[in-house]
Structure 1
């Protein structure tokens, strides 16, 4: 099963890269000293960006759907998807993602990515079809949960633990009802 999942992720990443207008693939040392591989893909026409992170147990695929304003995090260690509304006031614009691509391609130093914190609702989303086709495809076969972005210093955690997802463009914490 794990080999089949790895193959599916590889094929999806390959096809996404072929269809993307812009792509970058880099390896970076994480804060904990481990090595992660990142692939950031942008499709301006579809207003979609996808970031794949290969980091052992911390591997994830994240879809940024600028048309629908939905972000979906498929975190492989938790075997779940987490969806959140994109706060356009605090979320990097598609052009900012392009700047990140340029910086990575040219090996330029860029400021550390901003952090995002989310509280995860314990109840699964009943109709994933309302999330849009790209998010539905990413989360197919997995339970999906709404995550509410927390703004400011106050961060309420209902119960449970936190998952960290380190991306090229964001450092994400999903807290509350996260499965392991």
Structure 2
């Protein structure tokens, strides 16, 4: 099963790269000093950005679908997929990805405005067909849960685990846990 997931992910990268308007690859050091590889495919025709992140067993993929206003995040190492609504009024537009890829630098004042925080709920998504083929292909056959956007992360007693997409300027955190207050 793991081999099948890896084959599908690699095929997805090559197919998406061929169809993408802009493809960008880079690597960075992770929290534990490991090398983390990123592939980003931007397709303006279908208004989708696809992220593929490789860090050993903690590989993850994400789709930002601007037509459906949906973010889908697949974590094979956790065996789940997470879907959240994209608030188009506050979420960066599709063109901003190309601008930052072309300039290849971060702008700190813009980063602070773009930070997003999503909290995973226990509500399971049962019908992936409504979200289109990109999200369906990413999350098909995997337990899929809704996440909701929180304006600010909670600062209370409890336990929490987070995973997320970090691409140049945008950090989308998907968190789950329990809170006492």
**TM-score for the superposition, normalised by structure 2:** 0.84
1:128 matched to 2:128? The reply is: yes
Q: What is the RMSD computed on CA atoms of the aligned residues?
A: 2.2
Q: Structure 1 residue 124: deviation in Å?
A: 1.1
SS of the residue 1:167 aligns to: strand
Give ranges in structure 2 of 5+ residues lacking alignment: none
For the structure 1 residues 119 and 156, does the alpha-carbon distance in structure 2 shift closer, same or farther, using more than 3 Å as the test?
farther
For the structure 1 residues 156 and 115, does the alpha-carbon distance in structure 2 shift closer, same or farther, using more than 3 Å as the test?
farther
Q: Point out the more displaced range, 124-133 or 70-79.
A: 124-133
Give ranges in structure 1 of 5+ residues lacking alignment: none
For the structure 1 residues 79 and 156, does the alpha-carbon distance in structure 2 shift closer, same or farther, using more than 3 Å as the test?
farther
For the structure 1 residues 161 and 57, does the alpha-carbon distance in structure 2 shift closer, same or farther, using more than 3 Å as the test?
farther
For the structure 1 residues 32 and 172, does the alpha-carbon distance in structure 2 shift closer, same or farther, using more than 3 Å as the test?
farther
Are the counterparts in 1 of residues 129 and 136 from structure 2 also a CA contact under 8 Å? Answer: yes
SS of the residue 1:90 aligns to: coil
Q: How far, CA to CA, are the matches of 2:155 and 2:50 in structure 1?
A: 27
2:98 matched to which residue of 1? 98
Q: How far, CA to CA, are the matches of 1:164 and 1:61 in structure 2?
A: 11
- In the alignment of these two chains, the number of paired residues is 172
Q: Structure 1 residue 160: deviation in Å?
A: 6.2
2:19 matched to which residue of 1? 19
**TM-score for the superposition, normalised by structure 1:** 0.85
1:146 matched to 2:135? The reply is: no
Q: Structure 1 residue 119: deviation in Å?
A: 1.4
SS of the residue 2:57 aligns to: helix
Q: Point out the more displaced range, 161-170 or 67-76.
A: 161-170
Say which structure, 1 or 2, has more relative contact order (CA 8 Å, 6+ apart): 1
